[in-house]
Amino acid sequence: MLQGCHLAWLGALFLGLASTLAGASGFQHHSYEEMVRAMFAVQSECPYISRIYSIGHSTEGRHLYVLEFSDNPGVHEALEPEFKYVGNMHGNEVLGRELLIQLSQFLCEEYRAGNHRIMRLIHDTRIHILPSMNPDGYEVAARQGPEFNGYLVGRGNSRDVDLNRNFPDLNALMYYYEKTNGRNHHLPLPDNWEQHVEPETLAVIKWMQNYNFVLSANLHGGAVVANYPFDKSRDPRIRGRTTYSASADDKVFKKLARTYSYAHSWMHKGWNCGDFFDEGITNGASWYSLSKGMQDFNYLYTNCFEITLELSCDKFPPASALSREWLGNREALVSYLEQVHHGIKGMVYDDNNNPIASAEISVAGINHDVSSGVDGDYFRLLLPGTYTVTANANGYLPSTSTVTVGPAEAIQLHFYLKTAPKDNNLNIKNNHGKKNLSSPPKIPVNLGPR
């Protein structure tokens, strides 16, 4: 993380170099320095609702800057969900990077103009925008330019590692636990995992550990489709064939993907880039099986639901195409962000009204739990319907309620857990009676490329 004085110094520098918000960006491709100047220009125009922080460094030492929007920047407010957008994971897939710079300017400008929709979104949501996860790869791709950029030039980081094949593989463990009644969420990381990931991947994982994200999307290029978990097939023996690999929240993920697709100007039409995707959405493994990807890792390691947005046939579109792409994606970017406010949310308290962190929230019929954050608040994305929900924490008696979820704002459902009698503590099992496999057996994993 940058120290406050360092940020202030950089802010003053970039403010002097970028006199206006529009002048800092416009519809153009941004080098790393130009991207950072544009971010600081936004922050200087909207200082009371934004801040910039770094989650770490790239392999070549570039800061991975995040621009946050909130009515209380830098602070998690109980029952206010955390959302993130991640762009430019593949360095040569650049549209997402430019869209997120433009989205940042849009949020600032519309807030200042009194746009009630945007004002409400910023007041009720903590929004984190990482325009470039792979700034080193981008610089390699940018040197080729839009006209000569190849399919792979700049895709990986400076060590030529594909960051979307670099996260710990929790799918294999999840598929094993499905057969053994093991954990269904917040799966343990393998031993020495930090030694096997790139600096950019490590920074993003630490980011996930420090913020209780509820919803996310990462922006790619090379196709036009909204892709949702699971990315990895349950059968590693399949070669040359695709199989649907549904998560426990398959219906929710389909709704999230459709939200983006139908709000997008042409994604939902299906025919794009010579391919057809019904409604403009696809299950990842149904398209092709991918191991060690970021969206599956989000779902299996954290409370966060993430989808992958493929946004352009051309990985490095010319600057002249950026205006049209922004207009085609603007409503979709906002509509998808608003989905973080659906389902249920609430607090988990003990007998003395103290919040309980790490309580497990389970929904009957859906084999994927979420956990309360450090402030005792939880968020559970759900489709409209009636659900039986249980809160459970070690040392407390579980509590169950029935709730009806509507199509609008999230329903608040609070839980008050009573301390379990001491002689019964040993009978309370982790994960609602499921086996607690803290040291799972080694599982053979397919580590081949896609």
For residues 268 and 272, give the distance between their C-alpha atoms in angstroms, rounded to a whole number: 10
- Report CA-CA distances (Å) from 172 to 251, 285, 318, 442: 22, 14, 40, 10
Residue 296 CA to its chain's centroid (Å): 10
Q: What are phi and psi of 130, to 5 degrees?
A: -110, 95
Catalytic positions: 310
Task: Indicate the SS3 state at residue 37.
Answer: helix
Q: Which amino acid is at 448?
A: G
From CA 207, how far away is CA 197, in angstroms rounded?
A: 14
Question: Cα–chain-centroid distance for residue 410?
Answer: 19
State the amino acid at position 408 in one-letter form: A
Q: Which residues contact 22 (CB under 8 A, 6 or more apart)?
A: 105
Pairing of strands 82-87, 213-220: parallel
- What are the C-alpha distances in Å from 417 to residues 109, 136, 375, 401? 44, 49, 15, 12
402 has which bridge partners?
A: 388
Which residues are 310's β-sheet partners? 220, 225
